[in-house]
Chain A
Amino acid sequence: MRVSTSSFTQNMSDNIKGNLTKYQDLQNRISNGGKLTVPSEDPLAYSYMNKMKDARTQIGQYTSISKKLGNDLNLYDGTLSSTSKLLTEIRTVAVRAANSTLDQVDLNNLANEVNEKLRSVVALGNTNIQGKYMYSGSKTTAEPFEVTLDGETIKAVTYTGDSTSFHREVGFNDTIKINYTGEEVFMNKSADGVNIMDEIITLRDAISAGNKETITGQLEKMDRAQSQVMGYSAVNGNKMKHLENLSTTMEELDIRYAKNEEEVGSLDMATLINALNTQQTSYQATLYIAGQISKVSLLNYV
């Protein structure tokens, strides 16, 4: 094969350029932490990485939402526990009123005590978090329970909220109901439900009137009211547990997805550095050979 001077230098130049390009590509990849620099370097990896990135962004969102919802559910837990405690206290007062021989003054005192506890139950129903009423359905800016007073005595309690349920997405395809309306918790109109406000008013009036038969009847209503509140408390507890489990699952998923993203989208730094060293050696060898060979010419000898 004939080798001409210019084809020799052309070949030498092509080899140097080729090596330098590979050297530069590796240098860019390493400077970028081993990650892809443009999608066209590996379209399949880019597509997979994007899925992982998307999933991790969503996990971040779900985690943040779950934390906020966890706080809301904690507050529901607090108000439901307090309501349950108040119902127990009201029942205790009712038992005293049913079993003791009391004069009117004592009865009035007990009725007043029940009235005050009812006021506390109403206050719990009107709890708000940063301006949002918890038990008002979608009418979050207005107090859901209005009371009609006769002096200090609560004559009636009216629910002015609505029955809207809120659902929030807390995980992939995982949506939970995150509110309880005042109607379902405190004034449940379903067949098995108890209108706690009305029943307390009936009990208070029976105590005031010394009507032991009604008081005894209301004890059973108070038990059902207690069950109703505890039922929601249990449901709420399960949701809190669910969010806790979800949080752990999300953390694990995030770690796994991050690892997958890293594995697919990034090359191992040790492998890259090794490749860079090899490329560097190859580049140096090309330059050295080019330098050595170009020194040799027949011109040096004639």
Chain B
Amino acid sequence: MGQSLFSISRSSLLAYQQAINIAGQNVSNLQNPDYTRQLSVINSNVLNNPSNITADMSMGIKLDDVRRVRNELLNGYYRTENNQMQKLQTSQSVYEQVEFMFNELGDYSLSNTIDEFWKSWQALQESPDDMSLRKNVLQDGGFLADSIRLKNEQLTDLAGTINNNVDYEITQINNLLEQLSDVNKNLTKSWIQSSSERNQLLDRKDAILDTLSGEMDFQIVNQEDGSASIYINGTPMFYQDKFRTLNLQADGTIKLNTGEDVTINGGKLAGYVEMRDTTIPKYQQMLSDFASDMITNVNKLHQNGYAKDGTAGLAFFTGTGASDITAAISDPTKVATALATLSSSENINATGKTVDSTQTISGQLDSFKTAVDDNSGNGEFAINGVSITWNANDSIDEIISRINNYTGDPLPGVTASWNNEIQKLELVRDPFVDTTPNSPDVTISDVTGNFALFTSLSTATLNKNAEGSGENALAISQLWSKKTVGTPASWTLDEEYVSFVNMIAKDKNVLDNLTTNKQSLVNNVKLQRGQETTVSLDEELIDMMKYQQSYAACSRLVTIADEMLSQLIEKTGIAGR
């Protein structure tokens, strides 16, 4: 019996000592984020007697297992959410840079530069002779072109920096895969017997998988021996004793070192790749579309106009988009502020004056009203061969309506109105309305000769050297609020740019909200997981006290066994001494 008591005490003292060690291990790893708390699993130490089951004897206790408190369901949940959050946070950081780059609420934003450009044209239309204002237009135009190019270059540079980050993340991932491969190898080694040592390796494995989940998406299959098999796009990353790595190709794609293509959909790597390949190019395209519209619209009008020396057809900008937009002229006298005007007050040539297809003309049919008011007969004139007839009883309004409501092709962009101030019919050609391919010019002719004035207009010529005229500068400055973008034209150039900035703002705003929500979700999952797996100091102290007390009780058992034996040895059978 005494022997049994000693055995029980011995095993129990050993078990409690080990349990105290485990609790101590837990306490010492209190601040280790990778550590998973361990539980001492203490069970009765039963000696089996195969010949008589009732004779099984309890021989104290033993430390059966050191269990890691881990919840694989929460592990998986955390890694999935962390994977998505890291992708969002990566994109968010890039968006922050893009928004900062455009700095639209600052004093030196591109929208302010655009406004300055229109303002300088508006000032010039008021004083087209003023050389300093002409220079202003050139400086502001040049600055606008430089600013657009600079923004485009900044976006290109950002894409380059992101590509460096892609490279860095791939290196990180390869390092983690290498580390995981080592851990896997150790876990499969048979000589690892200690639970504690094994738990340490499992902690390391989980820490690597947690970090890896922030880098990219992958599938995990946990093996019985505790090692983890990783799959990317269905391809195993570990095979035999080797592991596959990711490689960044020169064209920016990612492949495995064994040649397979890889598509990454989550984690930081996916965030960077998406920003580099989709988001930045999308913004560059939008910026380029805006630059292209700016070039087209300004040039279309500028080429219509005439410079101070009478030169026509000069482009204000060269280039086709945000990457190459440049101010085309540097000589202020070449700013085409003037439009061609007809030198005679009587205007349109009876013989069929042809006006360039892209010009805004303000033709005036003099005495038209007189002829109509006097009911002096029927008449007919033609615009691009389309007959506009009038009868003696027609009013001016009826004839104007006949021109404006004509829906056939030959009158594109020609509108008629009565100018009460000068008492003339005005025909205005809008250069923004495209002409039909076969009828690019507007030709007006007097068919019947009823308009006496037509016959005397053979000398009407285009006056191209109208240095005091700011009509073309006016037309260009009106681009500020004229809807010229889209088919049909429904946006101003300013609105196009603002909608571009607004898209960045909206994208980032949505991303900010998504990231905040995801961050909160990840924090909750992490907390939930932590509550289960991490160490509670109070709990461990209580355990330590518990085990200490148990240890003390067991040592008391030794004393009792000792006293019992002493009783037998020292007090029993005294007669025989």
A binds B: yes
Residues of A within 8 A of B (CB): 1-7, 10-11, 14, 35-43, 46-47, 50-51, 54, 57-58, 61, 64-65, 68-69, 131-132, 136-141, 162-169, 172-173, 175, 177, 183-184, 189-191, 235, 297-299, 302
- Docked-complex contact A167 and B471, CB < 8 angstroms: yes
Say yes or no: A297 contacts B538, CB within 8 Å. yes
- Which of the segments B49-57, B233-241, B429-437, B524-532 contacts the partner chain? B524-532
12 extra A-B contacts, CB within 8 A, seeds A5-B534, A138-B469: A4-B530, A5-B538, A6-B33, A14-B523, A46-B505, A69-B126, A138-B463, A139-B466, A139-B468, A164-B466, A169-B477, A297-B537
Report whether A7 and B125 are in contact in the complex, using a CB–CB cutoff of 8 Å: no
| B210: interface (CB < 8 Å) | no
Q: In the complex, A11 Cα to B524 Cα: how many Å? A: 9
- Closest Cβ of chain A to B549, distance in Å, is 12
Indicate if the CB atoms of A164 and B341 lie closer than 8 Å: yes
CB distance from A131 to the nearest CB of B (A): 8
Interface pair A4/B37, CB less than 8 Å apart: yes
Q: Which B residue's beta carbon lies closest to that of A40? A: B508
For residue A189, which residues in chain B have a CB less than 8 angstroms away from its CB? Answer: 345
Given contacts A46-B505, A138-B463, contact A39 B523 (CB under 8 A): no
Q: Does B227 contact A (CB under 8 A)?
A: no
Q: B545 interface residue, CB < 8 Å from A?
A: yes
Q: Are A162 and B466 in contact, with the CB atoms below 8 A?
A: yes
Which B residues between 46 and 65 are near A, CB-CB below 8 angstroms?
none
Most buried by B among A165, A177, A235: A165
Q: Report B-chain residues with C-beta under 8 Å of the C-beta of A41.
A: 509
Give the residues in chain B near A68, CB-CB below 8 Å: 126-127
Task: Give the chain A neighbours of B342 by CB distance below 8 A.
Answer: 163
Contacts of A43 in B (CB 8 A): 502, 505-506, 509
| Contact (A166, B129) CB under 8 Å given A4-B536, A297-B538 | no
Separation of A138 and B136 alpha carbons in the complex (Å): 22
CB distance from B133 to the nearest CB of A (A): 12
A-B contact pairs, 12 of them (CB 8 A): A4-B534, A5-B536, A38-B505, A46-B502, A138-B468, A140-B468, A163-B342, A165-B422, A168-B470, A175-B474, A191-B370, A235-B421
Q: Determine the residue in chain B with the shortest Cβ distance to A51.
A: B498
Q: Evaluate contact between A36 and B105: CB separation under 8 angstroms.
A: yes
**Residues of A contacting B111 with CB < 8 Å?**
50
User: Separation in Å of the A238 CB from the closest CB of chain B?
Assistant: 10
The answer to whether the Cβ of B159 comes within 8 Å of any Cβ in the partner chain is: no
Closest chain A CB from B286 CB (angstroms): 15
CA distance A215 to B228 in the complex (A): 119
Q: Which residue of A has the minimal Cβ distance to B30? A: A5
- Cβ of B41 to closest chain A Cβ, rounded Å: 18
Interface of chain A, helix or strand or loop or mixed?
mixed
A1 to B528, CA, bound (A): 9
Asked if B501 and A39 sit within 8 Å, CB to CB, the answer is: yes
A3 to chain B, nearest CB (A): 6
Residues of A within 8 A of B421 (CB): 177, 235
B interface residues (Cβ-Cβ under 8 A, vs A): 30-31, 33, 37, 95, 99-100, 104-105, 111, 115, 119, 122-123, 125-127, 129, 338, 341-345, 362, 366-367, 370, 421-423, 463, 466-471, 474, 477-478, 480-481, 494, 498-499, 501-502, 504-506, 508-509, 512, 523, 526-527, 530-539, 541-542, 545
In the complex, are the beta carbons of B125 and A168 less than 8 A apart? yes
CB contacts (< 8 Å) of A37 on chain B: these are 105
B5 to chain A: closest CB distance in Å? 30
A147 to B477, CA, bound (A): 39
Q: Across the interface, do A167 and B502 meet the contact criterion of CB distance under 8 Å? A: no
By Cβ-Cβ distance, the 6 closest A-B pairs, closest first, are A140-B468, A138-B466, A39-B505, A7-B530, A40-B508, A43-B505
Are B367 and A191 in touch, CB under 8 angstroms? Answer: yes
Residue of B nearest to A72 (CB): B126
User: Chain B residues with Cβ under 8 A from A302's Cβ?
Assistant: 541, 545
State the CA gap A298–B544 with chains docked (Å).
Answer: 12
In contact, A140 and B527 (Cβ under 8 angstroms): no
CB closest residue in chain A, given B503: A43
Contact present for B505 and A40 (CB under 8 Å): yes
- Shortest Cβ distance from B480 into A: residue: A58
Cβ of A168 and Cβ of B466 under 8 Å apart?
A: no
CA distance A57 to B116 in the complex (A): 9
Asked if A141 and B99 make an inter-chain contact with CB atoms under 8 angstroms apart, the answer reads no
Closest B residue by C-beta to A62 = B122
Contacts of B530 in A (CB 8 A): 4, 6-7, 10
* Nearest-CB residue, chain B, relative to A65: B126
State the CA gap A2–B532 with chains docked (Å). Answer: 7
B119 in contact with A61 (CB, 8 Å): yes
Are B541 and A46 interface neighbours, CB within 8 A? no
Measured between beta carbons, the chain A residues less than 8 angstroms from B468 are 132, 136-141, 164, 166
Residues of A near B423 (CB, < 8 A) are: 190
Which of A40, A137, A299 counts the most B-chain CB atoms under 10 A from its CB?
Answer: A40
> Which of A38, A39, A57, A69 lies in contact with B502, CB distance below 8 A?
A39
CB-defined contacts of A14 to chain B, threshold 8 Å: 523, 527
CB neighbours of A167 from chain B (8 A) = 471, 474
> Is A39 in contact with B104, judged by CB distance below 8 angstroms?
yes
How distant is B117 from chain A, measured CB to nearest CB, in Å? 12
In the complex, which of the residues A57, A65, A163, A166 contacts B115, with contact meaning CB atoms closer than 8 Å? A57
- Chain A: CB-nearest residue to B540: A5
Chain B residues closer than 8 Å to A183, beta-carbon distance: 345
- In the complex, which residues of chain B have a beta carbon less than 8 angstroms from the beta carbon of A162? 341, 343, 463, 466
B531 and A3 contacting across the interface, CB-CB below 8 Å: yes
User: What residues on A are CB-neighbors of B104 within 8 Å?
Assistant: 38-39, 46, 50
Bound-state Cα–Cα, A61 to B115, Å: 11
Kindly report which residue of chain A lies nearest to residue B37, judged by CB atoms.
A4
Q: How far is the CA of A5 from the CA of B530 in the complex (A)?
A: 9
* Bound: A137/B477 CA distance, A: 21
From B341, B344, B474, B531, give the contact of A1 (CB < 8 A).
B531
State A169–B466 Cα separation when bound (angstroms).
19
Q: A5-B30, A138-B338 are in contact. Are A163 and B531 (CB under 8 A)?
A: no
User: Given A4-B534, A137-B468, does the pair A40, B509 have CB atoms closer than 8 Å?
Assistant: yes
Interface contact B537-A299, CB-CB below 8 Å: yes
Question: In the complex, what residues of A have CB within 8 A of residue B542's CB?
Answer: 298
With CB as the reference atom, state the residue of chain B lying closest to A183.
Answer: B345
Judge whether A35 and B105 touch: CB under 8 Å.
yes
**Cα-based distance from A58 to B530 in the complex (angstroms):** 59
Query: How far is the CB of B112 from the nearest CB of chain A, in Å?
Result: 9
B463, A166: Cβ atoms under 8 Å? no
Whole-angstrom distance between the alpha carbons of A103 and B360 in the complex?
A: 59
Chain A residues contacting B366 (CB-CB under 8 Å) are 190
Contact of A4 among B33, B100, B531 (CB under 8 A): B531
Asked whether, in the complex, the Cβ of A164 is within 8 Å of the Cβ of B469, the reply is yes
Q: Which residue of chain B has the shortest Cβ distance to A161 in the bound complex? A: B468
Most buried by B among A51, A235, A298: A298
B114: nearest chain-A partner, CB-CB: A54
Residues of B within 8 A of A164 (CB): 341, 463, 466, 468-469
Question: Which of these, A7, A132, A299, contacts B527 with CB under 8 Å?
Answer: A7
Asked if A54 contacts B344 (CB within 8 A), the reply is no
